[in-house]
């Protein structure tokens, strides 16, 4: 069930399976919402040591026949869009796996243990931000700004793949499409790539432009 509020400074999402329900609240820290730190929690976790103001995530965990638990995760940096796969979208920034939950948040990709209330592993695989991930066999395929990463369920990066431009397409084309035995990729300049599940290039097609294309940094 996706309850994402269309205000990126404050978002919510509920995910669940047969074992557990997790309510997630994200808030970007500023003068108006520092009240988060005044609440009481069963546990407070520092995801990253960040000197400047960062964002926080509250997890409300409901196991069957157990007292609900409230966890505050601090130190989240970068842009956040909470979502899980549904009938229209097959990518995640949050995915629940039995008694763990996987997050792609800002710059950090991590797995959280819902039973022991601890981070099992965390990585920062891209030099820039990461956006979302997909199921790829028994692993995750993570879309970062600079590279596409295949990551196993222990947090190990199996390979990373870079294109000619960043993996953000403003023309509405999907950056990542996974088919039976290959992955179709489109970058900012609409260059298209086909790679296999080992991260090897099968096709690399650069689109010829009839007029000068603006570089990605000129849009911001």
Answer whether 33's CB lies under 8 Å from 45's CB.
Answer: no
For residue 170, CA distances in Å to 44, 73, 191 come to 37, 31, 13
State residue 86's pLDDT score.
84
State residue 207's pLDDT score.
56
3-state secondary structure of 200: coil
Residue 116 confidence (pLDDT) above 60: yes
Distance CA 98, CA 120 (A): 14
Residue ranges and CATH numbers for the domains of the chain are 1-124 (no CATH), 125-220 (2.40.10.480)
State residue 23's pLDDT score.
96
Mean pLDDT, rounded, of the chain: 87
Distance CA 119, CA 28 (A): 21
State residue 220's pLDDT score.
43
pLDDT digits (tens, 9 = 90+) for 85-104: 987 779 999 999 999 999 99
State residue 5's pLDDT score.
38
Provide the pLDDT confidence category of residue 3 given band limits of 50, 70 and 90. very low
State residue 50's pLDDT score.
72
Closest Cα to residue 110, out of 81, 136, 137, 130?
A: 130
Provide the pLDDT confidence category of residue 206 given band limits of 50, 70 and 90. confident
Residue 142 confidence (pLDDT) above 80: yes
pLDDT digits (tens, 9 = 90+) for 34-68: 556 667 899 999 998 876 667 889 999 999 878 99
State residue 54's pLDDT score.
74
State residue 30's pLDDT score.
58
Backbone angles phi, psi at 143, to 5 degrees: -95, 110
What is the pLDDT averaged over residues 183-207? 93
Burial class of residue 142 in the structure, from the number of CB atoms within 10 Å of its CB (0-12 exposed, 13-18 middle, 19+ buried)? buried
What is the pLDDT averaged over residues 134-157? 98
Residue 217 confidence (pLDDT) above 60: no
For residue 26, CA distances in Å to 59, 76, 166 come to 9, 10, 26
The verdict on pTM exceeding 0.95 is: no
What is the pLDDT averaged over residues 209-220? 42
């Amino acid at each position: 069930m996706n309850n994402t509020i269309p205000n990126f400074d404050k978002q919510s999402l509920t995910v669940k399976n047969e074992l557990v329900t997790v309510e997630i609240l994200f808030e970007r820290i500023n003068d108006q919402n520092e009240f988060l730190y005044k609440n009481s929690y069963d546990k407070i976790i520092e995801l990253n040591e960040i000197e400047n103001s960062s964002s926080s995530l509250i997890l409300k965990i409901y196991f069957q026949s157990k007292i609900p638990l409230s966890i505050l995760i601090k130190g989240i940096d970068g842009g956040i869009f909470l979502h899980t796969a549904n009938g229209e979208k097959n990518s995640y920034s949050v995915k629940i796996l039995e008694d763990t939950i996987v997050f792609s948040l800002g710059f950090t990709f991590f797995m959280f243990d819902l039973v022991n209330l601890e981070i099992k592993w965390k990585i920062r695989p891209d030099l820039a931000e990461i956006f979302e991930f997909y199921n790829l066999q028994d692993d995750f395929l993570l879309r970062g700004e600079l590279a596409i990463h295949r990551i196993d369920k222990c947090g190990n990066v199996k390979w990373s793949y870079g294109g000619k431009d960043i993996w953000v397409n403003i023309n509405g084309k999907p950056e990542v499409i996974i088919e039976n035995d290959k992955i179709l990729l489109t970058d900012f300049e609409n260059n298209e790539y086909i790679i296999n599940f080992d991260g090897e290039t099968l096709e690399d097609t650069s689109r010829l432009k009839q007029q000068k294309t603006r570089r990605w940094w000129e849009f911001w």
